Amino acid sequence: MIVAIEYKNGRMKEFDTSAFTATNAMSAGDKTARNVMTELDLRLDLVDEVGLRLDFYWYDATPQGQRVDIPGLTDSKGDPVSLTSASRRLGTSVLLCSREGIKQISRIIVQRANGTVDALWRQGTGDWLINGARFEAQRVLSYTDSNVTSMNSQAVFVFKYMKKANPLMSEEEICDLIGYPLDAYKEIQLDEAKNAEGIVGAELIESDDGEDSEYPSDSAAPEHSDSTSNSSLGKHFAVDDDDDGFDDDEDSLFDV
């Protein structure tokens, strides 16, 4: 994970969890430990209380008695086998930006496995702090234009396709096939019908009481684009309250 912080005064910071870091940073104090996975928890939910914090946990694969049974899997003798269960262990916490420093940011960018997202930014006359992570989650579900089809719109399209391809299947079976609970799909298609304005043909499922939905179905649904949206360790040091630029006589390590 890479976290980049841009400030109003033009200053930029970049935090990298891979470059110039120790390969055994999590388990260095335990010679027998085997770190098979590291968990990074960026606490955007605590920004107003403590600032931007990144918490680390790691998973120790050293056998410690706990095992997980694997149904249907046997060894060469036909005996059931099981896997060792990795233990989740405490790592460390890094304060990337203090609560006071958050007031001075213009944008925070996070590079993740599936791309880059603007996690936080400030805008407007009120210098409002926008939670980009929450916005992105809803944008992927709902935003559609000539080049991008929302996840909800795709769900309606796939449901209609599967229903036509499998006319003997019930709505619940089709929803199960595409991974949606029936109630979740009903809510999605209603939302699509409310906002479609004749563009999205949401074929509505009747409610359990037999009454038709107040939103009529549109049988002339246009083809949807199949393109999806691509949005693109140790003590808390190097964190100053106002996050102004370094003074000439200022050391790079700060007391907390």
Residue-level pLDDT, tens digit, the chain, 256 residues: 999 999 999 999 999 988 878 777 777 667 778 888 999 999 999 999 999 999 999 999 887 768 888 888 888 888 888 888 898 999 999 999 999 999 999 999 999 888 899 999 999 999 999 999 999 999 999 998 888 899 999 999 999 999 999 999 999 999 999 999 999 999 999 998 888 764 444 456 666 555 544 444 444 444 544 444 444 434 444 445 555 544 444 344 433 3
Residues sharing a CB contact under 8 Å with residue 183, sequence separation 6 or more, in sequence order: none
Residue-level pLDDT at 194: 84
Supply the pLDDT for residue 246.
42
- Residue 15, CA distances (Å) to 51, 76, 110, 122, 164 in order: 15, 48, 10, 20, 50
Q: Where are the domains of the chain?
A: 2-142, 144-228
Sign of the torsion formed by the C-alpha atoms of 144, 147, 152 and 155: positive
Show the tokens assigned to 172: 């619940």
Residue 10 confidence (pLDDT): 96
Q: Give the C-alpha distances (Å, rounded to integers) separating 135 from 68, 109, 143, 194, 205.
A: 38, 14, 11, 20, 29
Q: What is the 3-state secondary structure (H, E, C) of the chain?
A: CEEEEEECCCCEEEEECCCCCCCCCCCCCCCCCCEEEEEEEECHHHHHHHEEEEEEEEEECCCCCCEEEEEEEECCCCCEEEEECCEEEEEEEEEEEEHHHHCCEEEEEEEECCEEEEEEEEECCCCEEEEHHHHHHHHHHHCCCCCCCCHHHHHHHHHHHHHHHCCCCCHHHHHHHHCCCHHHHHHHHHHHHHHHCCCCCCCCCCCCCCCCCCCCCCCCCCCCCCCCCCCCCCCCCCCCCCCCCCCCCCCCCCCC
Entry pTM: 0.68
